[in-house]
């Protein structure tokens, strides 16, 4: 998608602080971290949100989780969040998983 921020990060038009990359996914540090460790994991295929995951494109989601478990390397656990749509505060319409860690987190909505 030509006007998608994360597609631009994937194709190098916009720089990012990369943590991991392969042919299917990219992980990079969030520009406005809300935890001591805060990175995003995205599929290279443009999928709008969790809501747009279906039987045809869901393989990459399992792949992301398999990689998160190995790449996170965060002591004492971590949280994975995916905001979907307006009420959840999704600001970038390209599926992304926030990985948060490095501190004890509470649970507020
Ligand atoms: P969300 O609000 O769930 O859609 O998450 C989008 C996230 O992308 C926010 O946490 C932003 O801080 C982050 N973000 C926006 N632009 C960039 C960028 N250029 N590099 C890294 N992270 C970004
Ligand atoms: Zn995109």
Question: pTM, whole model, 2 decimals?
Answer: 0.96
pLDDT bracket for residue 37 (50, 70, 90): very high
d(CA 25, CA 23): 6
What are φ and ψ of residue 14, in 5° steps? -120, 130
Pocket probe mutation, ligand 1, options 10, 30, 100, max atoms within 8 Å of Cβ = 30
| Nearest-CA residue for atom 18 of ligand 1 | 31
* Å from CA of 39 to ligand 1 middle: 9
Average pLDDT over every residue of 74-97: 95
pLDDT digit string (tens) for 47-71? 999 999 999 999 999 999 998 877 7
* Å from CA of 106 to ligand 2 middle: 31
Strands of 25-29's sheet in order across? 18-21, 25-29, 37-43, 97-101, 78-81
Mean pLDDT over all residues of the chain? 94
Catalytic residues: 96
Listed in sequence order, the DSSP H helices in the chain are: 5-10, 59-71
Residues 6+ apart with CB under 8 A from 106: none
């Amino acid at each position: 998608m030509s006007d998608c921020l994360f597609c631009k990060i994937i194709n190098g038009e916009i720089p990012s602080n990369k943590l991991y990359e392969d042919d299917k996914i990219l992980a990079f540090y969030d520009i406005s971290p809300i935890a001591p460790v805060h990175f995003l994991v995205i599929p290279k295929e443009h999928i709008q949100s969790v809501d747009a995951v279906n039987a045809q494109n869901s393989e990459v989601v399992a792949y992301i989780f398999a990689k998160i478990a190995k790449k996170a390397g965060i002591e004492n656990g971590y949280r994975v969040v995916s905001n979907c749509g307006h009420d959840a505060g999704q600001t970038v319409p390209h599926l992304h998983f926030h990985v948060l860690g490095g501190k004890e987190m509470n649970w507020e909505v």
